[in-house]
């Protein structure tokens, strides 16, 4: 007799009703403990359906095969972990490196304590063979953030970080993950285990040998970019059961290809990560860093290029002339940017770092925006006889600052601003009577 046959008719009817159809998350909550304890190979779809209190056809309808069901579990837990860690980064913003390490390391232990099955699916020995790709990407994302922090907080005259920051970040992240694994496997007190892990990491960073750091960076610089070793936590997870799979070498990837790859990720609403961009292009993360700098620097160049493409596209369609053409281009650009869900999500999720990146006077976004608007003003002067009320550099700066203020407050407050009033202020600055 099947499970469905043994159930009361009323319950069978409810199971078939769309009103009580289980969500993907509900089903994943039901099966994840089974995967965490027994792994992938030792469970059947019948066991998984029983654990999820559903039927095999329902699991197949929602996820397809057992492989796809397991993959959905892994990816959901990876997304949860990354969001958990990003929240800890926001909390630790402005802390020195020691306090930042303490805050984020405790967050990793807290995640494992509250999402134990999820942590086991991502990092447990039972699932190591099947979760290694998502695991590597997850660890790489965490290591990227740690590397940025090292470059910002542990620098100055003594240390000028290059690839050594990625090396140290990989080691720190690996220590954190392994610390949680040991705490789970040996049933240790999580608070005590977290404190010990923090003390190990902090002690290691405090006693770094500057000569050893410089030697790593010097050795990296002496090698051709495509000869760089592509192993370690940042590009592949160096955990038991993993096989090191390096991306295929790709020589001479043009600068714009890197930026366009980052733009596509940004527009998909993804958080731009050095290792993800490098993997998609088939080059090492160290190559990306050497050519573009930190994640923040790559993100700034990406946003600047995206804005340049937007202005160029709008300008090519405009038919008005002189200052009115500047108004039209600026107005359409602001309207499109204010309605862009990817930009809104970025400004909301990474504030105040996003505000600093977008508005920093010597940063690529602000500097590039002013240059673009100044070019529009200069063309209006040359071709249409426009006479701006002030010098064009000052006018371009004022227009960009006005737009930045509107876009940021519009996104962070999550309230649509009055673009028509913004246009009136813009025309006033340009010295024309109206749109």
Predicted pLDDT of residue 225: 43
Q: Which two tokens stand for residue 270?
A: 């993804």
- Residue 244 contacts residue 265 (beta carbons within 8 Å): no
The residue extents of the domains of the chain are 20-223, 249-293, 304-430
pLDDT band of residue 189 (cuts 50, 70, 90) is very high
Q: Identify the three-state secondary structure at position 22.
A: coil
| Digit-coded pLDDT (tens) for 376-424 | 998 889 888 888 888 888 998 988 888 888 877 766 554 455 677 777 8
Question: What is the pTM for the complete model shown?
Answer: 0.54
| Digit-coded pLDDT (tens) for 202-258 | 998 888 888 888 888 887 555 444 433 333 333 333 333 333 333 333 445 777 888
CA distance 108 to 173: 10
Between the CA of residue 245 and those of 2, 76, 279, 323, 408, what are the distances in Å? 44, 23, 11, 55, 41
Residues in the chain: 435
Q: How far apart are the first and last CA of the chain?
A: 76
Residue of higher predicted confidence among 49 and 295:
49
Residue of 110, 30, 37 whose CA lies nearest to 72: 30
- Residue 184 contacts residue 125 (beta carbons within 8 Å): no
**φ, ψ at 249 (rounded to 5°):** -60, 145
Q: The dihedral of CA 227, 231, 232, 235: what is its sign?
A: positive
Of 34-43, 165-174, 221-230, 358-367, give the lowest mean pLDDT range: 221-230
Residue of 223, 302, 265 whose CA lies nearest to 137: 265
Predicted pLDDT of residue 434: 54
Between the CA of residue 238 and those of 132, 276, 341, 363, what are the distances in Å? 9, 17, 36, 36
Predicted pLDDT of residue 14: 42
CA distance 388 to 323: 8
Confidence check: pLDDT of 191 > 80: yes
Intrachain domains 20-223 and 304-430 with the same fold: yes
Other CB atoms within 10 Å distance of the CB of residue 371: 14
CA distance 117 to 33: 5
304-430 fold: Tetracycline Repressor; domain 2 (1.10.357)
Predicted pLDDT of residue 150: 81
Q: Which two tokens stand for residue 258?
A: 């890197």
Q: Identify the three-state secondary structure at position 89.
A: helix
CATH number of 20-223: 1.10.357.10
Residue of 165, 163, 153 whose CA lies nearest to 89: 153
Q: Which two tokens stand for residue 375?
A: 């070019």
Predicted pLDDT of residue 233: 32
| Digit-coded pLDDT (tens) for 146-165 | 887 787 776 655 567 888 88
CA distance 258 to 302: 9
Question: Hey, what long-range contacts does 129-134 have (CB within 8 A, 24 or more apart)?
Answer: 129/40, 129/241, 130/40, 130/70, 130/74, 131/74, 132/237, 132/239, 132/241, 132/242, 132/243, 134/71, 134/74, 134/75, 134/78
Question: What's the mean pLDDT when you consider all of the chain?
Answer: 79
Confidence check: pLDDT of 93 > 90: no
| Digit-coded pLDDT (tens) for 252-287 | 577 788 888 888 888 888 888 777 888 888 877 767
Predicted pLDDT of residue 412: 57
- Residue 297 contacts residue 162 (beta carbons within 8 Å): no
pLDDT band of residue 176 (cuts 50, 70, 90) is very high
CA distance 109 to 86: 14
């Amino acid at each position: 007799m099947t499970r469905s046959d043994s159930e009361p008719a009323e319950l069978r009817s409810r199971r078939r009703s769309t009103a009580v159809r289980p969500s993907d998350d509900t089903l994943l909550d039901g099966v994840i403990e089974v995967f965490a304890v027994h792994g992938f190979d030792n469970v059947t779809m019948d066991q998984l359906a029983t654990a999820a209190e559903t039927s095999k056809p329902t699991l197949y309808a929602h996820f397809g095969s057992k492989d796809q069901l397991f993959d959905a579990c892994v990816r959901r837990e990876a997304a949860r972990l990354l969001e958990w860690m990003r929240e800890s980064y926001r909390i630790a913003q402005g802390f020195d490196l020691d306090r930042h390490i303490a805050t984020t390391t405790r967050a990793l232990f807290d995640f494992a304590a509250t999402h134990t099955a999820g942590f086991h699916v991502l990092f447990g020995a039972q699932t190591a063979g099947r979760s290694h790709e998502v695991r590597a990407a997850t660890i790489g994302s965490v290591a990227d953030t740690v590397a940025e922090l090292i470059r910002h907080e542990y620098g100055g005259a003594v240390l000028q970080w290059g690839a050594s920051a990625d090396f140290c970040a990989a080691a720190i992240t690996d220590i954190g993950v392994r610390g949680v694994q040991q705490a789970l496997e040996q049933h240790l007190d999580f608070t005590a285990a977290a404190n010990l892990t923090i003390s190990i990491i902090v002690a290691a960073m405090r006693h770094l040998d500057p000569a050893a750091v410089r030697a790593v960076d010097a050795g990296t610089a002496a090698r051709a970019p495509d000869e760089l070793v592509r192993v370690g936590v940042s590009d592949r997870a160096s955990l038991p059961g993993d096989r090191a799979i390096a991306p295929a070498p790709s020589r001479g990837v043009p600068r714009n290809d890197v930026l366009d790859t980052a733009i596509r990720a940004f527009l998909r609403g993804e958080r731009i990560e050095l290792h993800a961009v490098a993997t998609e292009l088939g080059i090492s993360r160290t190559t990306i860093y050497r050519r573009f700098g930190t994640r923040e620097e790559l993100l700034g160049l990406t946003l600047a290029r995206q804005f340049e493409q937007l202005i160029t596209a709008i300008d090519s369609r405009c038919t008005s002339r002189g200052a009115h053409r500047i108004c039209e281009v600026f107005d359409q650009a602001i309207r499109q940017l204010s309605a862009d869900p990817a930009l809104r999500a970025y400004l909301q999720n990474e504030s105040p770092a996003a505000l600093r990146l977008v508005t920093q006077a010597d940063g690529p976004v602000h500097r590039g925006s002013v240059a673009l608007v100044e070019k529009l003003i200069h063309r209006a002067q040359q071709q249409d006889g426009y006479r701006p009320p002030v010098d064009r550099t000052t006018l371009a700066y004022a227009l960009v600052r006005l737009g930045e203020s509107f876009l940021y407050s519009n996104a962070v407050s999550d309230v649509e601003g009055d673009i028509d009033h913004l246009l009136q202020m813009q025309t006033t600055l340009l010295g024309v009577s109206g749109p």
